[in-house]
Amino acid sequence: MLKNQQTIKRTISYSGIGLHTGNKTKITFKPAPENTGILFKRIDIPDSPVIPADIDHVIDISRGTTIAIGEAKIHTVEHVLAAVSGLEIDNIICEVDGNEPPVGDGSSLPFVEILLKAGFAEQESPRDYLIVDKTITYHDPPRGIDIVVFPSDEFRITFMVDYKNPALGTQYTSMYSLHEEFATEFAAARTFCFLSEVEELRKANLIRGGALDNAVVIIDRDMSEDELRDLRKLFGIDQKVSLSTNGILNGKELRYYNEPVRHKALDLIGDLALLGMPLKAHVMAARSGHAANVELVKLIRKEYKKKLIRSKFQVAEGKAAFLDMEAILKILPHRYPFLLVDRILDLVPQEHVVGIKNVSINEPFFNGHFPGKPIMPGVLIIEAMAQVGGILLLNTETDPETKLVYFTGIDNVRFRKTVTPGDTLRFEVELAAYRRSICKMIGRAFVDDELVCEAELMAAVVDNQKAV
């Protein structure tokens, strides 16, 4: 069923203190036009810079998700993002008068409650979904993290954690409907940490706004009365602090029997909002945290960008090639006899490309290089490599049809083996650096998995005046 985008009906605010800074802060949610997305705005500094809530603006994930543009930063945005995304709000401006939103009670519930008060307004443009049509996996074996994303007609989450601490142990949760379950079953799940982490975090000048009413502290070591007294002083806590039998500091009751794993799912929802559009997929995660979530978002975004490129240029369906000759002709300006790429097997924007050149005896250069001993000229191997790299470079641009790639330098060229008629050249070109339309690429050419040529290529992307 087609759904339209939505925003909130009216402006509404929420005040409190920041978790890590301990500063008084206020966040104000404002309606936004169609196709705006989720924007954060630092209204406490000159020019009130706007920071899009997307993966390209994430700069730190050590103890939460921090986004920035230039020198302007906003820390710990994941609970706000979870509330906005969980309530299926597409367009909103989040104005913050500091570098961190209020921590509230350590969950997304305070934000959910005021956003519900603001109400929702349906907009005219249809909602764009990022639809996953192939399995995507992320693994971090040293940390025991596994995430698998499956195609699904709805957004679903399955999450599992297992801790050696008996107060937590192994926990599992599933969410099958964002619309029906998020606000009631996940939004109120509070952040948690281990007692052994608390002192280290505070001494590292973090969690300065942390308190017993905005986090669940899991007991993972014994503490003497003197140590508990020092803990109270460290955090400025007036009330008594005790080690309770339920494994949670001060015997705090959980809101859900598996509240910690639900909070992990909440963080995942917030981090997935960094995709910039709602997701249709089933995400199964084991022991994941912010760092892994952000890496997963990058993987999904790469697959999405690949799909956009293929759908834009590739006409014929069902072909094994990522881009066939018809698609290549739309991207590169080269034509016979100087077009030296036959297929693109894979392309990850701003990372790497794999292309194929089938070397035929009918190539016109074999008539003179050399008569009776046909060998592909090394300069043309480099040219073919450069053309494959050009396809990668042009797809870093918004409108590749209006651009040209001029190569400005070639270094460290090595020819390892001759290339003759009947060979299939496979080029693997990776982007080493890209800044202000100037780039450096590392290229390698193979025949039957044997390296035949390698080079470093420098190039500039310029306007194609004819196309413009």
Backbone angles phi, psi at 406, to 5 degrees: -105, 125
- DSSP string computed for 156-204: EEEEEEE-SSTTT-EEEEEES-HHHHIIIIITTPPPEEEHHHHHHHHHT
Looking at residue 199, its pLDDT comes to 66
Locate the DSSP E strands across 117-168: 120-126, 130-131, 136-140, 145-151, 156-162
Tokens linked to 186: 């996940």
Tokens linked to 379: 């300069």
Winning range, highest mean pLDDT, from 14-28, 217-231, 277-291? 277-291
Locate the DSSP E strands across 254-391: 279-286, 343-348, 352-358
pLDDT for residue 447 is more than 70: yes
Tokens linked to 63: 């103890």
Name the residue with higher pLDDT: 89 or 244: 89
pLDDT for residue 211 is more than 70: no
49 neighbors 71 (Cβ within 8 angstroms): no
Looking at residue 26, its pLDDT comes to 96
The pLDDT confidence band at residue 205, using thresholds 50, 70 and 90, is low
Please list, in sequence order, all residues whose beta carbon lies within 8 angstroms of the beta carbon of residue 157, skipping any fewer than 6 positions away: 173, 174, 175, 265, 268, 269, 282, 283, 284, 285
137 neighbors 147 (Cβ within 8 angstroms): yes
Strand partners, 171: 161
Burial of 108 (0-12, 13-18, 19+ CB in 10 A): buried
Instruction: Please give the share of the chain, as a percent, with pLDDT higher than 70.
Output: 90
Rg (CA), the chain: 27
Distance (Å, whole) CA 448 – CA 96:
57
Q: What is the pLDDT of residues 132-161, one digit of tens each?
A: 989 999 999 999 999 999 999 999 999 999
Where residue 134 falls (left for φ over 0; alpha for ψ -120 to 50; beta otherwise) is beta
Strand partners, 462: 404
Instruction: Please give the share of the chain, as a percent, with pLDDT higher than 90.
Output: 68
Strand order from edge to edge, sheet including 352-358:
343-348, 352-358, 424-435, 438-447, 450-463, 403-415
Among 14-23, 67-76, 327-336, 344-353, name the one with the lowest average pLDDT.
14-23
Looking at residue 234, its pLDDT comes to 62
307 residue type, one letter: K
262 neighbors 108 (Cβ within 8 angstroms): no
Name the average pLDDT for the chain. Answer: 89
pLDDT for residue 237 is more than 50: yes
pLDDT for residue 246 is more than 80: no
Q: What is the pLDDT of residues 388-442, one digit of tens each?
A: 999 998 887 666 777 888 999 999 999 999 999 999 999 999 999 988 778 999 9
Where residue 247 falls (left for φ over 0; alpha for ψ -120 to 50; beta otherwise) is left
439 neighbors 461 (Cβ within 8 angstroms): yes
Tokens linked to 274: 């960094």
Distance (Å, whole) CA 347 – CA 359:
22
Say whether pTM exceeds 0.85.
Answer: no
Burial of 106 (0-12, 13-18, 19+ CB in 10 A): buried
Sign of the C-alpha dihedral, residues 121, 112, 128, 37?
Answer: positive
Q: What is the pLDDT of residues 351-374, one digit of tens each?
A: 999 999 999 999 999 999 999 999
The pLDDT confidence band at residue 468, using thresholds 50, 70 and 90, is very low
Looking at residue 395, its pLDDT comes to 80
Q: What is the pLDDT of residues 40-60, one digit of tens each?
A: 999 999 999 999 999 999 999
Looking at residue 460, its pLDDT comes to 92
Which positions are catalytic? 290, 369
pLDDT for residue 454 is more than 50: yes
Mean per-residue pLDDT, 165-183: 91
CA dihedral 81, 39, 56, 355 (to 10 degrees): 100
User: Length of the chain, please?
Assistant: 468
**Collapsing DSSP states into helix, strand and coil, what is residue 226?**
helix
Name the residue with higher pLDDT: 435 or 345: 345
Q: Which domains does the chain show, CATH number per domain?
A: 4-189+259-307 (3.30.230.20), 314-463 (3.10.129.10)
Sign of the C-alpha dihedral, residues 82, 86, 87, 88?
Answer: positive
pLDDT for residue 384 is more than 90: yes
Looking at residue 168, its pLDDT comes to 82
107 neighbors 2 (Cβ within 8 angstroms): no
Distance (Å, whole) CA 125 – CA 32:
13
Closest-CA residue to 99 (of 139, 72, 78): 72
DSSP assigned state of 282: E
